[in-house]
Structure 1
Amino acid sequence: MNIAIIPARGGSKRIPRKNIRIFCGKPMLAYPIAAALASGVIDKVVVSTDDPEIAEVALQYGAEVPFMRPAQLADDLTGTSPVIRHTLTKLQQLGWELDYCACIYATTPLLNSDIIRRLHEQLSAEAVDYVFTAARFSFPIQRAILQTPSGGITPFDPVAITMRSQDLPAAFHDAGQLYWAKASTWLDSSKKIFAENSRMHVLPHHLVQDIDTPEDWTRAELLYRLLQTG
């Protein structure tokens, strides 16, 4: 069985209740659930949450919540991988036979079923641990500048700041959307996502938007509406 796990705790600070806040007419959580179920490569979607209201929304839109996430895994310091390992372990204890597992973040309205399917195909075809979505930085990170305590400016890299952009290697960042691996890989804490035996699937910029501030939320809604009309 292939599953998707969506971590969705209730304690968002910067945008309160953002996992179920209304986004373009539906709760935010509804979008990744729908994309996963429409992908054709995921049998069940499981939402890992500590919040009864989030659990109710998840069930309403077709996901499953077989158990609630314990409080010690729902604080500001807990990373994603321990949550996925906890969920997989509990599901196996319930008798679920698990093959592949996609971790999909709750605030991913720009993620679509085609991307989910293509990454699963890539993972199935290559002998790698993880495949995840990424994006290219729009400006060379080597030419970053820093502000000094006195208000002055200093280059992050004094050598690279003098180089032409086209002479610097491209740099990428995690898109914060989707991570595919075998269930056994997720359960092996020695296997890291950002490592040599992983591969990234680079997305165009219009499909990537981190949502941490009200400005991020507004831009994501604009992008989503544009994609729907395209």
Structure 2
Amino acid sequence: MILGHIGARKGSKGVPGKNFRPLCGKPLIDWSLDQLFANPRVGAVVVSTDDEAIYEHAIAKGALKIGLRPAHLATDSAGKWGVWQHALAASEGLIGPVTAFLDLDCTSPLRLPEDIDAALELYKIEHPDMVMSCCEARKNPYFNLVEPDATGSLHVSKPLPGGVVARQQAPIVYEHAASTYVVDPAYLKRSKGLWEGRVIPYLMPPERCVDIDTPFDFRLVEFLMQEALTHD
């Protein structure tokens, strides 16, 4: 069974209440939650949250009743990995073992249903520890990302012998797009973080990888979604 998961913490410094804030006619979380419920490959859905309103909303739509997440997983410093581990353990206590843990980040609502299917298919074919959504980076540390040295002078972040004078010469670099993840449950249970195993990219176009972290991001995503809905 594939377990679909969404993490939705109550607090947000960038956009207060963003996970439940209305976006194009429904709460932000529902753009991802509805995708999980609509996918026939997903056998159960769970929402990890410290927000009573979000929890009751998810339960009413059919999510598993695992209760609110523990306080230590509801802080600004709580990492995604611990939240995933708790949600997996609580869910398996209700439904038994799962074959894949599918996480959708509710702050990235521009993904399409076919992105979920493609990520799941990649996981099925490649058998990695994790499939992680990525897009090609707009800036490249071998070419046009710079950092200051002790004197304040700028240098390319990752210099190569001879230098790189054109972006096309630089090694390919991906952005970790917080959108769609497929994780091997055994890997999630035994590891302490994302990068300990074989993590492979599922490449998405950058226009579907916008993550809402600021009021500007929210306005941008709202504009893009309204444009997409107009053209449908």
TM-score, normalised via structure 2 length:
0.88
**Aligned residue pair count:** 229
Cα pair distance change 1:117/1:209, threshold 3 Å: same
Per the TM alignment, residue 158 of structure 1 is displaced from its structure 2 partner at its CA by 5.6
Q: Please give the alpha-carbon distance, in whole angstroms, between the structure 1 residues aligned to 2:31 and 2:71.
A: 25
Q: Give the structure 1 partner of residue 176 of structure 2.
A: 174
3-state secondary structure, aligned to 1:132: strand
3-state secondary structure, aligned to 2:176: strand
Q: Give the structure 2 partner of residue 21 of structure 1.
A: 21
Counterpart AA for 1:81: W
Asked if residue 206 in structure 1 is aligned to residue 211 in structure 2, the reply is no
Q: Please give the alpha-carbon distance, in whole angstroms, between the structure 1 residues aligned to 2:54 and 2:227.
A: 28
3-state secondary structure, aligned to 1:5: strand
Counterpart AA for 1:176: A
Asked if residue 5 in structure 1 is aligned to residue 5 in structure 2, the reply is yes
Per the TM alignment, residue 182 of structure 1 is displaced from its structure 2 partner at its CA by 2.5
Counterpart AA for 1:39: N
Q: Percent same amino acid at aligned positions? A: 28
Is the 1:134–1:175 contact (alpha carbons within 8 Å) kept by the matching residues of 2?
Answer: yes
TM-score, normalised via structure 1 length:
0.89
Which consecutive unaligned segments of at least 5 residues does structure 1 have? none
Asked if residue 34 in structure 1 is aligned to residue 34 in structure 2, the reply is yes
User: After the TM superposition, which of the residue ranges 180-189 and 5-14 deviates more from structure 2?
Assistant: 180-189
Map residues 1-230 of structure 1 onto 2, 5 A cutoff: 1-143=1-143, 144-146=145-147, 153-157=154-158, 162-189=164-191, 192-194=193-195, 197-228=198-229, 229=231
Q: Please give the alpha-carbon distance, in whole angstroms, between the structure 2 residues aligned to 1:17 and 1:188.
A: 33
Cα pair distance change 1:20/1:65, threshold 3 Å: farther
1:111-158 Cα offsets, whole Å, 9 max, x none, are 222111111111111131111110101233322234679886544356
Q: Please give the alpha-carbon distance, in whole angstroms, between the structure 2 residues aligned to 1:226 and 1:42.
A: 29
Q: Please give the alpha-carbon distance, in whole angstroms, between the structure 1 residues aligned to 2:97 and 2:52.
A: 26
Is the 1:33–1:63 contact (alpha carbons within 8 Å) kept by the matching residues of 2?
Answer: no
Per the TM alignment, residue 60 of structure 1 is displaced from its structure 2 partner at its CA by 4.0
Q: Please give the alpha-carbon distance, in whole angstroms, between the structure 2 residues aligned to 1:185 and 1:178.
A: 17
1:68-119 Cα offsets, whole Å, 9 max, x none, are 1011111111111111111111222335332211111121211222111111
Cα pair distance change 1:60/1:49, threshold 3 Å: same
Counterpart AA for 2:166: R
Is the 2:2–2:101 contact (alpha carbons within 8 Å) kept by the matching residues of 1?
Answer: yes
Q: Please give the alpha-carbon distance, in whole angstroms, between the structure 1 residues aligned to 2:196 and 2:85.
A: 18
Q: Please give the alpha-carbon distance, in whole angstroms, between the structure 2 residues aligned to 1:179 and 1:45.
A: 14
Q: Please give the alpha-carbon distance, in whole angstroms, between the structure 1 residues aligned to 2:111 and 2:31.
A: 8
Cα pair distance change 1:50/1:148, threshold 3 Å: same
Which consecutive unaligned segments of at least 5 residues does structure 2 have? none
Cα pair distance change 1:142/1:27, threshold 3 Å: same
Is the 1:58–1:65 contact (alpha carbons within 8 Å) kept by the matching residues of 2?
Answer: no
1:18-39 Cα offsets, whole Å, 9 max, x none, are 1000111110010111111222
3-state secondary structure, aligned to 2:84: helix
Q: Please give the alpha-carbon distance, in whole angstroms, between the structure 2 residues aligned to 1:55 and 1:16.
A: 17
Q: What is the root-mean-square deviation of aligned Cα atoms in Å?
A: 2.3
Is the 1:29–1:58 contact (alpha carbons within 8 Å) kept by the matching residues of 2?
Answer: no
Q: Please give the alpha-carbon distance, in whole angstroms, between the structure 1 residues aligned to 2:63 and 2:108.
A: 15
3-state secondary structure, aligned to 2:114: helix
